[in-house]
Amino acid sequence: MITKQSLEYLFNPLIRVVPEKDWSKIKAIWIPLLHHDYKNTLEKSGEIIILQKTIDRFGTEQGYLTASNENYIPYLTTFFNPLFTQDEVLEKIVQAHDNILTIQSIITDATGEHIIRKTIIGVAKSGMMMTIVTNQDDKIIDAFPIFNHDKK
Amino acid sequence: MNEQQKKILHANPTEIQKADCVDSVNQIKNNETAYDFLPKISGSKGGGDRDTLKKSELGPLASTDPGVFAENVGQDKISSHSVETPKQDVHVIVTKNKTTNRYNICQPMTYDFYLLYLLCTETLTTTSTDSKKNSGIEFYKNSSIPCLVTPQLFINKNKGYIELFSIYDLTNNSDDLCLPKSPKFIMTAKNFMNFMVQKAQLHQQQPDQFFLVIDSQGHAHLTTDLQSLVKVSFFTSLQKKLASLFTRPAK
């Protein structure tokens, strides 16, 4: 069962820091797993920056996620439609999880007997595709929309 | 920003350093001549047993010209000192799904292949966000870019080696700000460059299927023709044998 707690990262900017080995400086800061910014609140407050943003017909946003610090690493990622509430996002993830289009990858442990991670592509009722990642307990650890490059 | 995030941003480096974050860099410091970072092949989680590659044997960087890839394959000399040395190439088949227009790997795979699969399928970006420069080659050449991120992959430059991590392993490890010791896949600079060249080639060709290979020396390759790797290996070994005839010391 998907809960907000289990997918908290999708909605909150968990910031990760990678320092140099001797801590002389920080070599990288990035914001992993953030995939929803309700009404662009984080962006409007300046907490995050999305560069070169584009929007598809599902309202999915794609752009380079970063923040106002030279050590942040921008990376190309996607966001659920900012007009969706968190509940709506979770509902669409459940829909996509129940409607799997394809299994993208299955990763096993060294013995090859136990699945430790699985990545699937599912589709919500609206037709929006998304990538869903599950762990060894088949629990969803990440979900993000696939940007649709078709014209609106 | 919540308390957890503040804690991460304002953590006292000294305190965190006390945690168990000793990694491969320290191993280099302890041993300037031997590099033991090459990935074990099948069944390994990167970071396991390694073959040993001598610093002097790394050789120059591979050319970025896609046409010269075949000449470069197998030129890295790796002396086998590890207990378990892979004897043959292992590969997985990467197939394009026409519905999603994405590449999948149908069969289950080990973590090494997973990380390489992400490297070959995910979009790499540099700090410039310039799409023309968004490649691993730019990343490698520019010393001011220490790492790259994708939605699922963290790529770290470490003393001339390239380390691949899944971001899920990094985000789970919320109390430790250092990169995890494992699982990771470590590539030589030369192998990374070759891999990126092959990725660029495949991006242009858009084949329905290609192979992701980890060869017997622990180097990763992308190819649409497995036979090409075999041929190159054969000619490389023949070349080495011929060369050895002329380099034997006189009795």
pLDDT in tens, B48-68: 333 333 333 323 223 333 333
- Give the domain ranges of chain A: 8-143
Is the pTM value of this prediction over 0.80? no
Coil, strand or helix at B25:
helix
Residue A146 Cα, gap to closest chain B Cα (Å): 9
Q: Does A133 touch chain B (CB under 8 A)?
A: yes
pLDDT tens-digit series, residues B129-165: 555 555 677 788 888 888 888 999 999 988 889 999 9
Q: Does A139 touch chain B (CB under 8 A)?
A: no
Q: Does A26 touch chain B (CB under 8 A)?
A: no
> Going by C-beta distance under 8 Å and a sequence separation of 6 or more, which residues neighbour residue B126?
B133, B134, B138, B139, B142, B145, B148
> Going by C-beta distance under 8 Å and a sequence separation of 6 or more, which residues neighbour residue A64?
A50, A51, A52, A74, A75, A76, A77, B125, B129
Burial of residue B180 (number of CB atoms within 10 Å: 0-12, 13-18, 19+): middle
* pLDDT value at A111 more than 70: yes
Is ipTM over 0.90? yes
**Residues of chain B above pLDDT 70, percent:** 55
In a domain, B60, yes or no: yes
Taking only Cα atoms into account, the Rg of chain A, rounded to an integer number of angstroms, comes to 17
Sign of CA dihedral B216, B222, B226, B232: negative
Q: Is the peptide bond before A13 cis (omega within 30 degrees of 0)?
A: no
**Beta-carbon neighbour count of residue B15 at 10 Å?**
8
Which segment of B7-11, B37-41, B92-96, B115-119 scores lowest on mean pLDDT?
Answer: B37-41
Cβ <8 Å between B110 and A101? no
Q: Is residue B197 within 8 Å of residue B71, measured between CB atoms? A: no
Nearest chain B residue to A78 by CA: give it. B151
Pick left, alpha or beta for residue A92 (phi over 0 → left; psi -120 to 50 → alpha; otherwise beta).
alpha
Within 8 A of A51 by CB-CB distance, chain B residues are: 129
Structure tokens at B240: 């080495």
Q: Residue B124 has what DSSP assignment?
A: P
Nearest chain B residue to A110 by CA: give it. B43
User: Which of A8, A17, A20, A21 should one mutate to test binding to chain B, selecting the residue with the greatest count of B CBs within 10 A?
Assistant: A21
Coil, strand or helix at A74:
coil
In a domain, B4, yes or no: no
Nearest chain B residue to A107 by CA: give it. B109
User: Which of A42, A73, A136, A150 should one mutate to test binding to chain B, selecting the residue with the greatest count of B CBs within 10 A?
Assistant: A73
Task: Domain of residue B201: give its range.
Answer: 27-240
Q: How far is CA A148 from CA A55, A58, A60, A65, B239, in A?
A: 9, 8, 8, 18, 50
Within 8 A of A18 by CB-CB distance, chain B residues are: 147, 156, 177-179
pLDDT tens-digit series, residues A84-107: 999 999 999 999 999 999 999 999
In a domain, B162, yes or no: yes
Count CA atoms closer than 13 A to A122's CA, side-chain side: 22
Within 8 A of A78 by CB-CB distance, chain B residues are: 151
Q: Is residue A48 within 8 Å of residue A67, measured between CB atoms? A: yes
Q: Using CB atoms, pick whichever of B4, B100, B177 lies closest to residue A121.
A: B100
- Going by C-alpha positions, the residue among A56, A59, A131 that lies closest to residue A97 is A131
Within 8 A of B174 by CB-CB distance, chain A residues are: 14
Number of domains in chain B: 1
- DSSP of B33-77: SEE--PPP-TT--TTSS--BEEGGGS-SPPPS-GGGHHHHTT-S-
State residue B228's pLDDT score. 78
